[in-house]
Amino acid sequence: MMKDQVLVAGAGPVGLAMALELARYGVSVRIIDKTADAEHTSRAVAIWPRTLELLDRPGVSEELIRRGNKVTAANILSGGKPVGSLSLGQIASPYPFVLMLPQYETEAVLRDRLAAFGVLPEHGIELFGLDQDEEGVTAHLRRPDGTELTERFAWLVACDGAHSVVRHLLGLDFKGDKLGLDWTQGDFHLTGYPFPPSQLAVFYHADGPLLFFPMAPDRARVITSLGASTGKPPVALDQHAFQKLIDARGPGGITLTGTVWTSAFHINERQVDRYRTGRVFLAGDAAHIHSPAGGQGMNTGIQDAVNLAWKLAQVSLGRVSGTWLLDSYDAERRPVGAEVIQASGRMTRMATLGNPVLQHLRDLAVHMLLGVRPVQRALTGLMSEVSIGYPESPLNGLPFGGEKPGARVPPVAGALPFGAGSVPLFAACGCKGAAALADQFPDLVEARPPLVESERLLSLVRPDGYLVAQVPDDDWSAIIPLLQRSSS
C-alpha cells in the first residue's frame, strides 16, 4: 500500500527544501534522516541571491535574512597588500548580497515552514534498501530500535549527502578526483578583523590561502589549507593552532577569542553521470560535490530541489503525463553541477598556487580583471547564480524574439512570486493572449501581469522562474503546441 507519493531521504537543507516545495504544491511527502537529531553545526554558511529569490516563493527568505549577516563585498589581498575587491551590490536581484547564516539556522527556518504544511522530518529512520518497478519504489527502512519495515512510494528523492546510501544502492559511479590538499575550517569569535562585517576577505599566502566569512561583528567562518594530503583523514586545528596560522598568513591584529566549531576535510570533485534512475532522483551532494570555494554547494543543491519539485508535482498530481518532464531534470541540472565543479575548482587551484612566479602573475591578473566592470558583472553573476539558465532545455519553446528561452526571469518587486500558485506555468502579459491560454489550459496556465509595464510580449514562465517562451501578443497562439504537449 502506498502511503505517501514521494519519499525524501535526507533532512538537510536540500531535503527540507525538496519536501517544502512538494508540500506546498499539494503532494503527499515523507522526509526521513538516519541521524538521531537535526544538525547543530554551522557547516554551509553562504546563501546566494538566486537561492534567496527561489526561497522567497515558499516564504522563508525574509526570516533567513532577519537571522543572517549580509555581505556586500569581497576583498582579495596577497602578502598583506590589496589585490582587488568585488562589489556584490551590482547583482541584478532584490538580494544584492551573500547572506551568511549557519546551516543549522537555515535548516530551522525551512523546518518551521515545512511544519506549517503538516510535514515533520522523521529522524532516526534509516533507508537501507530499495527496489523499484514501473509503478513505484519499495523502500526498506529501519527504526532506531532495529525494527525493519517495507513501504511503497511513487518516487524517491535522494538528498542524503556525499556518502549517499541511495547512490550506492543504485550502483552509480561517483566520478571525479580528489584535490591534493587538506583543509581545516572553524567558526570563531574574534576581534581585530580589518574589514566591516559586511565584507569578506581572502588572503593569498605562499603557504596557503586564508579566508574570512563574517557571520556577525564578532564572529566569522575561517578556512585555510593544511598542506599536501597524507592519505590519512585530516585533523581539525584547535584555536591555538588556528591562531598561529592566522598570525602567519593574515594581516596581523586578528585575535580569536572563542571557538564555536571546527572541522577538517579533503576536497573532492565528483558527479554522477545521471541524476535520475527510473523513479529515483539524486539532488545536492548525493549528485555532485566540489570545492567549498565560492560557497556554492548548498545553493546548488537547493536549486536542484526547486527545479525537480514542480516537475515531480505535476506528474504526481496527474496534470502532466509521460516521462519527458521528469527527464528534463537531469538535462538541466547536471550541466549546472558540472559548471559549478569546474568554477570552484579553478578558484581553489588559483588560490593555492605554489610557484612564486605564478603567484605574482595571478595577483597581477586578478588586479587587472577586477578593475574591469564587465568582468565584475560576470563574476558576481556566476557566484550569485543569477546567471544560471537552461538555454538547451528540452522544455524551451522556439526563440520567437525577446529574451531567449531558458533565461532566468528576475523577480518583480511587489509582485506575487512565480511559483506561488499551484499551476506549472504563468502567462505574463496584460493582453488577450494570456487570458486566452489560461482559459484553454486552466490546469497548466495562470494569467499574470506583464513582466514589464506596457510590454506587449507574452512571457510563458515556469514556476522556478525561467522563461519557456516569449512571443508578441498577436502571436500568442504559437504557445499552444507547447501546452498541448504538456497536457497530453
Cell 515533520, located at residue: 120
Structure confidence by residue, pLDDT tens digits, 445-472:
888 877 776 567 888 889 999 999 888 8
Length of the chain: 488
Q: Please state, as a whole number, how many other Cβ atoms lie within 10 Å of the Cβ of residue 372.
A: 10
**What pLDDT score does 83 carry?**
93
Task: List the domain boundaries for the chain.
Answer: 2-45+102-174+272-351, 176-269, 395-488
In angstroms, the CA 31 to CA 111 distance is 11
Helix (H, G, I), strand (E, B) or coil at 113: helix
Mean pLDDT (whole number) for 268-278: 94
What's 6's DSSP letter? E
Cell 524551451, located at residue: 396
| Beta strands 148-158 and 280-282, pairing class | parallel
User: In CATH, what is the architecture of 2-45+102-174+272-351?
Assistant: 3-Layer(bba) Sandwich (3.50)
Helix (H, G, I), strand (E, B) or coil at 215: strand
The maximal CA–CA distance of the chain, rounded, in angstroms, is 70
In the sheet that 98-100 helps form, which strands lie side by side, from edge to edge?
A: 46-47, 98-100, 69-71
CATH topology of domain 176-269: Alpha-Beta Plaits (3.30.70)
382 neighbors 312 (Cβ within 8 angstroms): no
Structure confidence by residue, pLDDT tens digits, 311-320:
999 899 888 8
pLDDT at 268 over 70: yes
Amino acid symbol at 176: G
Higher pLDDT, 281 or 267: 281
In the sheet that 445-448 helps form, which strands lie side by side, from edge to edge?
A: 445-448, 425-428, 457-461, 467-472
Class of 395-488 in CATH: alpha beta
Confidence at 415, pLDDT banded by 50, 70, 90: low
Q: Do 176-269 and 2-45+102-174+272-351 fall under one CATH topology?
A: no
